[in-house]
Amino acid sequence: MKITFEHYAYLNEKIQETLEKYNSNNELVELYEKGDTLVLNNGSPIEDIHDILIYRNAQCNDIQKRFCFDILYLTDISIWICDNLYPYLNDDHIYSALRNICPMINTPSCRLI
């Protein structure tokens, strides 16, 4: 991976915080695997994109990649990513780090690259 140790550690920390919030009982991974629309803990569907932007799109060719970048979006560190990662990394490099951090999505339609 091209990402520096410091940047990887920070990214990992933020993703783990996000996963604790949205995937505490592995429910987020299960929803991606089943292809269900995500709902909040109280049972109401997600409507505000700032709360969460995750659902399995039938036209998504790589659900693992979609999951990783959705989790990254939820970390709310987009400015940090632009300022610190994109000057020396591209999406492929970032995805390599995300694959090592994020849980694996097990589904027959998942194509990993």
Give the predicted TM-score (pTM) of the model: 0.78
Amino acid type, 16:
Q
Contacts of 84 (CB under 8 A, 6+ apart): 7
Write the pLDDT tens digit of every residue in 51-97.
444 455 555 678 899 889 989 988 999 999 999 999 999 999 999 99
Write the pLDDT tens digit of every residue in 15-34.
999 999 888 888 878 877 77
| Spatial separation of the C-alpha atoms in residues 25 and 19, rounded to whole Å | 10
Amino acid type, 33:
E
